[in-house]
Every structure is written in C-alpha cells, then in structure tokens.
Amino acid sequence: MHDLLMQVLYDVLVLLATVAAGYAVAWLRKNLGVEGMRKVEVELAAKQELASLAVRFVEQAYRNLHGEDKYQKAAEWLAARAGELGMTMTADEIKGLIEAALRAFKDRFGEQWAAETTGS
C-alpha cells in the first residue's frame, strides 16, 4: 500500500512538473516575442529618423544636385550614419526609407516643398 501511494504521488509530481514546464515555455515564448517586436519597432523608428535626416541634409547641402545624384548622396549619408550606429541596411531598404521620407515631406509640406526642391 505504501509503495502504491508513493507511486501515485510520484506520478502526480511528474504531471505537475510537465504542466508547469509547458506554462513556463509558453510564457517565455510570449514575452520573448513581444521583446523581439519592440526591438524591431525601435530599430525601424531609428532608421526612419535617419532617412528623414538624410533627405533634409541633402536638400540643404546639395541644392545644386537633382534626381539620381541627390538620391545617391542621401543613400551614402544614410548608409554611413547607420554603419556608425551598428545598423545594417540593404540597398533596397535604403531606397525604400529615403523614398518614404521624401514622400512624407511632400505630403506634409506640399507645394512649398516641391517649389524649393525644384528651384521654382
């Protein structure tokens, strides 16, 4: 009888440990996933801010350039600043970030931005 009672207690403990481990794993996955998403969001916001700075810098420093030449200067500046901060970006990501920043400025400042950038 004593052996049977000990076996039942042992089985209950194994079951409880398994359930607890399952909950612990689920909790860790959830929290690590949320933390990972926060990290991605922070990095994206930093990249977007750098792209915005790149566009403003090039508009100010290279007024005489246009089109592809101006884009190239912005891309170089953005890649250099990102590298200094330990961020990596693909050429496509740089292009997308610069285009998005430029679009945001055009949407925000409309005709005034267009007039200043085209020299009208």
Q: Average pLDDT in the 84-109 region? A: 90
Q: Average pLDDT in the 100-112 region? A: 82
* 15-51 pLDDT tens trace: 777 888 888 878 877 777 777 778 888 889 999 999 9
Give the model's pLDDT for residue 23.
Answer: 83
List the chain domain ranges: 2-118
Please say if the pLDDT value at position 118 is more than 80: no
- What are the φ/ψ torsions at residue 88 (nearest 5 degrees)? -110, 140
Contact 41, 52 (CB under 8 A): no
pLDDT class for 120, splitting at 50, 70, 90? Answer: very low
pLDDT higher at 2 or 95: 95
